[in-house]
Amino acid sequence: LGLLDRSDGREGAIDFQRAIGNAGMRLFGKPVEGLSYDAEANIQFGDNNTRKHSAWAWAVRADYVYEKKKVQPGGHLGFAMASGESCTGDPSAGEACGAANSTEFFNFYPTNHAHYGFVDLMGWWNMRDLEAGVMIAIPKVLKKLEVKYHFLQLHKADGRWSNVGGVNVGSGWD
């Protein structure tokens, strides 16, 4: 899968220019009954407002559902990580990170809601997410009831914490 984002200006900063390319791959399958896996990896390259851009992100997840009973229990385990950028100033105070190169993963189409929860406080950039969950299903009665736990961290502790829309929520400075 390949994507290219090109921008020649934006509101309030008409001199802003971006040309970021992304190459990625995804593997998924069901090797045995009840067990499924999903893995995705992406690398990025290009220019981000006159800075050389080089970033990466990946995610893996395994699910198991015991499907041979009327009540079907299951669980999953996953991990996702995306590169970030160290900041020399305080990004939560509106100060720019100011790094010489752009290394924060660029989330082309931020649809992270299904992955990171209802509050959408974590975008797929400068992040680590360890996820575990349990579920139960009762065919024709209960499609699925699931409980998930996410342990979220900043990949670069002195970098930005941005929500799914790219708005700064905080930083390692907070």
Paired tokens of 16: 């802003």
Q: What is the average pLDDT across 55-80?
A: 95
CA–CA separation, 129 vs 114, rounded Å? 14
Residue 74 has pLDDT above 70, yes or no: yes
Going by pLDDT thresholds of 50, 70 and 90, the confidence category of residue 5 is: confident
Burial annotation 123-150 (CB, 10 A radius, 16+ → b, else e): bbbbbebebebebebeeeeeeeeeeeee
DSSP label of 165: T
The better pLDDT of the pair 72, 49 is held by: 72
pLDDT digits (tens, 9 = 90+) for 21-35: 999 999 999 999 999
| The pLDDT of residue 37 | 98
Q: Three-class SS of residue 154? A: coil
Contacts of 155 (CB under 8 A, 6+ apart): 81, 82, 83, 84, 126, 127, 128
Q: What pTM did the predictor assign?
A: 0.80
CA–CA separation, 63 vs 35, rounded Å? 6
pLDDT digits (tens, 9 = 90+) for 140-164: 898 889 999 989 888 988 888 887 7
Contacts of 119 (CB under 8 A, 6+ apart): none
CA–CA separation, 43 vs 54, rounded Å? 8
pLDDT digits (tens, 9 = 90+) for 82-135: 999 887 766 556 556 667 788 989 887 766 566 655 556 777 889 999 999 999
With contact defined as beta carbons under 8 Å apart, do 42 and 57 qualify? yes
* DSSP E strand stretches across the chain: 2-10, 13-32, 35-48, 51-65, 72-82, 127-138, 142-153, 160-162, 168-171
